Amino acid sequence: MPAYDFTAPRLFVAAALAEGVILPLDRAQANYLLNVLRKGPDDPVLLFNGRDGEWRAHLVQTGRKDADLHVAARTRPQTPAADLHYLFAPLKSARLDYLAQKAVEMGAGTIRPVITRFTQGERVNMNRLRANAVEAAEQCGILAIPDCPEPERLPRVLDGLAPERLLVFCDEDAPVRDPVRALREAADPQAPPSLAVLVGPEGGFSGEERALIRDRPNTLALSLGPRILRADTAAVAVLALVQAVLGDAR
Ligand code: SAH
């Protein structure tokens, strides 16, 4: 794993990044760098836009509250977006913030809200979800910004999954047995398939939803142990297992 420079702040920007580019900062960004982090002209700032890799830039103050970033050199090449889909029933906002950030940190490349029968609050603040995904990427050295598609109902989400994508369905009713072995039996760790994980709402899945999910071919109903986990806990648990056995943490 490349040694990241975690002392330098990382900022997501929309602009194209190349040597010599000068990026005027908005007031909030200038205040954050100048006054909150108290960065000066010799302090590097790392920039990424999800397309051009990571670049080192230097802060040039242009006024009492204004500053530009002068892009100097590329520090890391662009990495491809992660292929792992994280499908989840939306939770109330604070827990949704946590869940979105952890899914990104754990390597999800698509974060899709799934509306189920017992979902609390079907309206999902997608701007907030995307902002959390960007914040997690900024903090964790992730270069590709996850895709956050609009919420869809469970049947459409299942229909939209490519048949070859293994769906790991977090099912507290599945037999409690060795989840690592269950994942190894569901796919070849030497040639892992594309992956999706699905976690339900606080109220769990309805009986007919459970049947619908289990009827999908190439789906593994996976127990995460004998205790009922909160949905945001289940998110981290299943992503850690899947990444360790079939994903990028092998
Ligand atoms: N019906 C319970 C479970 C909901 S927990 C309740 O009302 O509290 C929310 C989601 O987390 C579940 O839908 C499931 O996807 C996942 N989950 C929780 N505990 C789990 C376990 N022990 N094994 C597998 N998945 C679990």
Quick one: how far is CA 219 from the chain centroid?
22
Question: Which of 56, 76, 96 delimits the end of a domain?
Answer: 76
Residue at which a domain ends, from 76, 109, 129 = 76
The residue contributing the CA closest to ligand 1 atom 6 is: 203
Same domain, 42 and 141: no
Range of the domain at 36: 10-76
pLDDT of 237 over the 80 cut: yes
Distance 247 CA to ligand 1 centre (A): 22
| Signed CA dihedral, 104, 106, 109, 113: sign only | negative
Residue 2 belongs to some domain of the structure: no
> Which residue's alpha carbon is nearest to atom 7 within ligand 1?
203
pLDDT of 100: 92
pLDDT tens digits along 64-76: 889 999 999 999 9
pLDDT at 248: 87
Q: Cα-atom radius of gyration of the chain, to the nearest Å?
A: 20
Q: Do 118 and 217 share a domain, yes or no?
A: yes
Confidence of residue 42 (pLDDT cuts 50, 70, 90): confident
CB distance 182 to 166 below 8 Å: no
Atom of ligand 1 nearest to the CA of 200: 13
Residues 85-125: pLDDT tens digits?
999 998 877 788 999 999 999 999 999 999 999 987 668 99
168 lines ligand 1 (CB under 6 A): no
pLDDT, the chain, mean: 93
The average pLDDT across 183-201 equals 92
Residues 199 and 172 occupy one common structural domain: yes
Instruction: Give the whole-number percent of the chain exceeding pLDDT 70.
Output: 98
**Closest ligand 1 atom number to CA of residue 198:** 15
Evaluate if residue 200 carries a pLDDT over 90: yes
The CA 131 to ligand 1 mean position distance, Å, reads: 26
Check pocket membership of 146 for ligand 1, CB cut-off 6 A.
no
How remote is the CA of residue 228 from the centroid of ligand 1, in Å?
5
CA gap 200, 171 in Å, rounded? 8
Tally of structural domains, the chain: 2
Same-domain pairing of 167 and 64: no
Higher pLDDT, 199 or 94: 199
4 pLDDT band, cuts 50/70/90, is low
Indicate whether 32 and 118 sit together in one domain. no
Residue found under tokens 């040039």:
60
Q: For residue 74, give both structure tokens.
A: 């590329």
Residue 50 confidence (pLDDT): 95
Q: Do 204 and 88 share a structural domain? A: yes
Q: Ligand 1 pocket test: pick from 177, 178, 220, 229 the residue with the most ligand atoms within 8 Å of its Cβ.
A: 229
Using CA atoms, how far residue 117 sits from 121, 153, 169, 201, 203, in Å, is 11, 9, 16, 9, 9
Which residue among 96, 210, 228, 242 has the greatest number of ligand 1 atoms within 8 angstroms of its CB, and so is best to mutate? 228
How many residues appear in the chain? 250
- For residue range 74-83, list pLDDT tens digits in order: 999 999 999 9
- pLDDT, average across residues 155-168: 97
